[in-house]
Amino acid sequence: MTFDEKRALALLRIATQSPSATFRDGQEAAIRHVVEGRGRLLVVQKTGWGKSFVYFIATLLLREQGAGPTLLVSPLLALMRNQIAAAERMGVRAETINSDNSEEWERIEAAIERDEIDILLISPERLANARFESQVLSSIADRLALLVVDEAHCISDWGHDFRPHYRLLERIIRGLPSNMRLLATTATANDRVMADLSNVLGPGLTVMRGELQRDSLTLQTLRLPSQAERLAWIADRLGTLQGHGIIYALTVRDANLVAAWLKLRGFAVEAYTGKSGDDREALEEALLRNEVKALVATTALGMGYDKPDLAFVIHYQTPGSVVAYYQQVGRAGRALESAYGVLLSGEEESDITGWFITSAFPTRVEAAHVLEALDGAPDGLSARAIMGAVNLSFGRIERTLSLLSLESPAPIIKDGSVWVRTAVGISESFWARAERLTQLRRDEQEEMQRYVRLPFGDHMAYLIGALDGDATAISAPRLAPLPAETSEATVQAAVSFLRRSHLPIEPRLKWPTGGLPSLKVKGNIARTAAPGRALCVWGDAGWGTAVRLGKYHDGRFSDAIVAALAQMFREWSPTPAPTWVTCVPSVRHPTLVPDLAGRVAAELGLPYIATLTCVDARPEQKTMANSTQQARNVDGSLALSGVTVPSGPVLLVDDVVDSRWTLTVSAWLLRGAGCVAVYPLVLADGGNGS
Amino acid sequence: MIDPLSPDTQAILLLTAPLSAGSGGSREILTPGEYKKLARHLHSIAERPATLLGPGAEALVESCRTVIEADRLRRLLGRGLRLSQALERWRARAIWVMSRADAAYPRRLRERLRDDAPPVLYGCGDQARLAEGGLAVVGSRNADSELIEFTQRIGALAAAARVNIVSGGARGIDSAAMSGALEMGGCAVGVLADGLEKAAIAREYREVLPDRLTLVSPYDPSAGFNVGHAMQRNKLIYALADRALVVSADVNKGGTWAGAVEQLERWRMVPVHVRTTGAESAGLQALRARGALEWPTVDSAEALRYASAPSVVGRVSENGVSATGSVDEDTERGRLLAMTVEPKSEREIIAGTGLTQQRVRALLAILVELGKLERRTRPVRYVARTQTVLLV
């Protein structure tokens, strides 16, 4: 196909809505390369360079010459809305198919069938989806003109951001004949990642590579171990910072926490996480239009989000690798003279990034259990059904299934809705790769900890060096460092804020698959608990530590905890109001919870009545890894003690809630004895509830 | 095992394979006859299928116009993503694929079937087993228990004699022969006409794939049963074996009959035997009348090894068969190779051998394909290679 320079430039000007726009360095060459079919191309350019113009304009030029559509694979499609809008101005008919827009699938599938889509954007996970394969891929697989692999570094085992489904993409790329146009793009690729990409994309791969550093960025690091100090620092500084920015946190919980805190302090901020769902688009827009001071985001707001005048990026915790960090901080200052990138480092971050590292792969034992379960089921098992057979959390089971099914040849494959064992075992290379990746990620974690300790002025050179870029031409920071101090009053306010983060406990509505044999129940739960409250998350920065000390060290919960529970109850004040207090019994700690319940009852001026008893000692719930196992563990272990159960609403006290099955069964028993409502009131949410 | 697919194989798959992951597939793919024509055209202009994927593709597609319509070729070659999807699906099931262009392609098929050898083979299990030969055991799907037992015993003896069983993988006699061998620790090759994808992950094969069982099929792994396919694959069963034993057959009907007759009268690649013990069979007697040999009474591993040994290469043996091809042709080939020690033009070869131009072209194509002849260009000359190298 031929490359029409004038047409390409005209398209760029339409897309940018600027009649004088010209191509940036390398853009035109890349488009020409793709359109003329000169072989596979890898474009390495920092975010904001305009990679999307390359594939959108190339797609349109190809389509105008009668070629088939383009397929773009990107890990974070949700963030491409801005680019899609620009593409649509040029007349590119772009659609995305993802898990969030299932109501549109049929319309899009029909449009693809009629060849009315120019570019289809999907996440790599789609490629493993049976419906997508049969409804979409099969209709474009015969005429696809161009495959675009966005964020191509995700292919590399050596990438910070290696994604299991990119292994599938990698094999698809390897299977493509050389006459298929392929464009891979990434913003960050160190030498190792580049070597991997050359291996997957080559031979005959052309690489076009730009500069890495962003001179407008002033980088700074601050070690502030406690969450309260960091919350206080952000609250003290946010008002003094010019412009608008992003505050990154490592977990959804922390993003929500920081956003809630800053809102309380009067800032216009919003949380943006993978759980923001349909609000994501509005949130992105709000930041683009400077309607919020900042978004407090997880990595869900990452690759692909383009706000040229983003004035600051603050990290509430240290990310796990230089590449991840540079991708996030590199969003700031694209079209500004200067911008801040401040990294706060806290005591919990290594636990969090360490958890991501160790949970990335199943253990040999986990994998063996899952395979064993499938071996015994010739017709296959659903992931849910495996929960009944294996004591692993649903998340671990899903992760194990997903990773093993992406092996090639695969020890298991998905056949319709069930997983089926194949004739092959898990190869040693799987474990070798798991080990190598785990070690690599630990090294990357350590590399970031060294970054934290750097003196002001050294940061950019360190990052560029770590990314195998040219660190010699780096200029000094343009802005002065921000003060490290926080005001004592703000820290105090942050401490009390952390201690006030009460969590709702939603009642379970259904018995587990297969029901509970001892109680002879299944299906919907006829006598559910009422919604309850937890004081804190197990081990968190508020009450978490005090709760842990009470349970495992002192053997008694402190008066401060009792007071906090009573305070939480008063703020909550459910109706109809409870008229008495009872508690969940325990064989292992026979007095701990009754003592707590009695003291809370006294504090609230209500009678405490022990109504439940243990009839069978079972292993602790926390050793049961999934909901089905936990439900069966509770089944038949609790009973009414025989004491008359008052009919008024009751507060049901427990120390740590995990699966909620103990609370569910307790409430079912109490309500069976005539109690009208059961409100769970617990100290800590163990975090395994889902 | 599937990586890396050679560009020739990629091109052949794009042109000839349905690549249907369960559904649809292209109606446009080249039929075996069309591909045969295209392959001959490519040979005639000293080109390979891989060129259709490279920078010179456009010119080559145009030059193939006389054989296959250019737009159709372009559409077929544009199925790159479908190819890749299909590979992924097969790979997940440990299914490999190879084409006639691959060195690993079984020589027995290449040499015995020449351009009737399937362009593409799919399979599961050790490819090397396809070169080992063995005893083909064929018979009907519906067989009584006496015949099943007889056949299983043959399989078991073959296992003890370390002779591979080659069979069609169908129920009845085929399965009995294979299970007889596999259960006794022997090896087998199953030449399937359908359902490789299912067989590759079947429970019954988990113990023996890939170490002792190799499944192979010329048809798309997701293909369902098709009488024509079942007939067409018969010749592969014979071609992959050293000798064949027909356990049961109806007269003038059914796949076993057709396959055996085709072997006796057209292909003559291996000696064909029929069962002589047990119940009388009109079908087997009719095969005897057409030249099938008697299967001796075999009651030990030693006897089976002897009975199933290949006929001696080059010797016109038993029912008129040489190990590598028909007599006439070997002689023709020999003459052609003998006179091309020095490079010769096509015209010189025609004059020197006294064969027709058409025949010489066919032989040249085959010998080039087999790597026995080198085709030089500018000017076009043929010269015998001293060593045999397998090429397209």
- The DSSP secondary structure of A581-645, one letter per residue, reads EEE---SSSTTHHHHHHHHHHHHHT--B---EEESS----GGG--SHHHHHHHHTTTEEE-SSPP
pLDDT of residue B317: 42
Taking 70 as the pLDDT cut, the residues of chain A under it are: 77-80, 157-163, 302-304, 501, 687-690
Return the residue in B84, B97, B215 with the most chain A beta carbons within 10 A, the one to mutate for interface testing.
B84
Of the candidates B122, B382, B325, the one whose C-alpha atom is nearest the C-alpha of residue B229 is B122
- Band of the pLDDT at B314, cuts 50, 70, 90? very low
Question: Which residue of chain A is at minimal alpha-carbon distance from B8?
Answer: A177
Report helix, strand or coil for B184.
Answer: coil
Q: Between chains, do B91 and A178 touch, taking CB under 8 Å as contact?
A: no
3-state percent helix, strand, coil for chain B, nearest multiple of 5: 45, 10, 40
> Going by C-beta distance under 8 Å and a sequence separation of 6 or more, which residues neighbour residue B323?
B310, B311, B312, B313, B314
First to last CA, chain B: 20
Run of H or E residues at B293: strand B293-294
How many Å apart are CA A235 and CA A228, to the nearest integer? 10
How many Å apart are CA B32 and CA A157, to the nearest integer? 42
Of the candidates A138, A186, A350, the one whose C-alpha atom is nearest the C-alpha of residue B26 is A138
- Which residues of chain A have a CB within 8 Å of the CB of B221? none
Q: B389 pLDDT exceeds 50?
A: no
Q: Which residues of B touch A (CB under 8 A)?
A: 3-5, 7, 10-11, 14, 21-24, 26, 52-54, 57, 75, 77-85, 87-88, 91-94, 200-201, 203, 205-206, 209-210
Q: To the nearest whole angstrom, how far is the Cα of B94 from the nearest Cα of chain A?
A: 5
Of the candidates A527, A558, A521, the one whose C-alpha atom is nearest the C-alpha of residue A543 is A558
Return the residue in A40, A178, A200, A371 with the most chain B beta carbons within 10 A, the one to mutate for interface testing.
A178
How many Å apart are CA A634 and CA B120, to the nearest integer? 58
How many Å apart are CA B97 and CA B105, to the nearest integer? 10
User: How many Cβ atoms from other residues are within 10 Å of residue A435's Cβ?
Assistant: 11
Q: Which two tokens mark B152? A: 């299983």
Among candidates A137, A174, A408 on the partner chain, residue whose Cβ is nearest the Cβ of B85: A137
- Which residues of chain A have a CB within 8 Å of the CB of B7? 177-178
How many Å apart are CA A216 and CA A212, to the nearest integer? 12
Can you list the alpha helix ranges (DSSP code H) found in B105-223? 107-113, 145-160, 173-183, 196-200, 203-206
Residues 383-442 of A with CB under 8 A from B: 405, 408-410, 413, 420, 422-424
How many Å apart are CA B55 and CA B72, to the nearest integer? 19
Of the candidates B133, B128, B130, the one whose C-alpha atom is nearest the C-alpha of residue B118 is B130
Cis amide bond preceding A411, omega within 30? no
- Band of the pLDDT at B130, cuts 50, 70, 90? very high
> Going by C-beta distance under 8 Å and a sequence separation of 6 or more, which residues neighbour residue A256?
A271, A273, A296
Among candidates A138, A171, A405 on the partner chain, residue whose Cβ is nearest the Cβ of B24: A138
Question: Which residue of chain B is at minimal alpha-carbon distance from A204?
Answer: B54
pLDDT > 90 in chain B, percent: 48
CA dist A624 to A517, A619, B299, Å? 18, 8, 60
pLDDT of residue B326: 42
Q: Between chains, do B80 and A140 touch, taking CB under 8 Å as contact?
A: no
- Which residues of chain B have a CB within 8 Å of the CB of A134? 21-23
Q: To the nearest whole angstrom, how far is the Cα of B353 from the nearest Cα of chain A?
A: 42
Q: To the nearest whole angstrom, how far is the Cα of B68 from the nearest Cα of chain A?
A: 18
Q: What is the mean pLDDT of residues B149-171?
A: 94
Among candidates B23, B80, B203 on the partner chain, residue whose Cβ is nearest the Cβ of A378: B203
pLDDT tens digits, A214-243:
899 999 999 999 999 999 999 999 999 999
pLDDT tens digits, B281-301:
999 999 999 999 999 888 888
- Which residues of chain A have a CB within 8 Å of the CB of B83? 175-177
Whether chain B has a CB inside 8 Å of the CB on A478: the answer is no
Q: Between chains, do B83 and A177 touch, taking CB under 8 Å as contact?
A: yes
pLDDT of residue A410: 86
Of the candidates A661, A508, A654, the one whose C-alpha atom is nearest the C-alpha of residue A584 is A654
Among candidates A134, A147, A179 on the partner chain, residue whose Cβ is nearest the Cβ of B53: A179
How many Å apart are CA A117 and CA A434, to the nearest integer? 39
Of the candidates A254, A367, A374, the one whose C-alpha atom is nearest the C-alpha of residue A319 is A254
Whether chain B has a CB inside 8 Å of the CB on A173: the answer is yes
pLDDT of residue A395: 85
Of the candidates A289, A258, A292, the one whose C-alpha atom is nearest the C-alpha of residue A273 is A258
How many Å apart are CA B250 and CA A323, to the nearest integer? 71
Whether chain B has a CB inside 8 Å of the CB on A376: the answer is no
Residues 200-259 of A with CB under 8 A from B: none
> Please, what is the average pLDDT of chain B?
85
How many Å apart are CA A463 and CA A474, to the nearest integer? 11
Question: Which residue of chain B is at minimal alpha-carbon distance from A406?
Answer: B92
Q: Between chains, do A172 and B7 touch, taking CB under 8 Å as contact?
A: no
> Going by C-beta distance under 8 Å and a sequence separation of 6 or more, which residues neighbour residue A311?
A241, A242, A243, A244, A245, A332, A333, A336, A339, A340
pLDDT of residue A79: 59
Of the candidates B321, B334, B347, B323, the one whose C-alpha atom is nearest the C-alpha of residue B373 is B334
CA dist A373 to A380, A381, A627, B94, Å? 9, 8, 17, 22
Run of H or E residues at B89: helix B80-92
pLDDT tens digits, B336-360:
777 787 788 888 888 877 788 888 8
pLDDT of residue B387: 42
Return the residue in A40, A112, A136, A408 with the most chain B beta carbons within 10 A, the one to mutate for interface testing.
A408
Report helix, strand or coil for B91.
Answer: helix
- Which residues of chain A have a CB within 8 Å of the CB of B77? 177, 179
Q: To the nearest whole angstrom, how far is the Cα of A388 from the nearest Cα of chain B?
A: 23
Q: Which two tokens mark B185? A: 């620790």
Q: Between chains, do A178 and B54 touch, taking CB under 8 Å as contact?
A: yes
DSSP annotation of A521 reads B
Q: Which two tokens mark A521? A: 């129940």
How many Å apart are CA A214 and CA A318, to the nearest integer? 20
* A520, A262 Cβ separation under 8 angstroms: no
For residue A505, give the amino acid letter: I
Strand partners, A219: A341
Run of H or E residues at B306: helix B301-307
pLDDT tens digits, A150-191:
888 888 765 555 567 888 888 889 889 999 999 999 887 788
- Which residues of chain B have a CB within 8 Å of the CB of A177? 7, 10-11, 14, 53, 77, 80, 83
Among candidates B7, B83, B210 on the partner chain, residue whose Cβ is nearest the Cβ of A175: B83
pLDDT of residue B313: 41
Q: To the nearest whole angstrom, how far is the Cα of B98 from the nearest Cα of chain A?
A: 13
* A218, A479 Cβ separation under 8 angstroms: yes
Question: Which residue of chain B is at minimal alpha-carbon distance from A200?
Answer: B4
For residue A502, give the amino acid letter: H
Q: Between chains, do A175 and B26 touch, taking CB under 8 Å as contact?
A: no
For residue A509, give the amino acid letter: L
From the number of C-beta atoms within 10 Å of its C-beta (0-12, 13-18, 19+), residue B299 rates as exposed
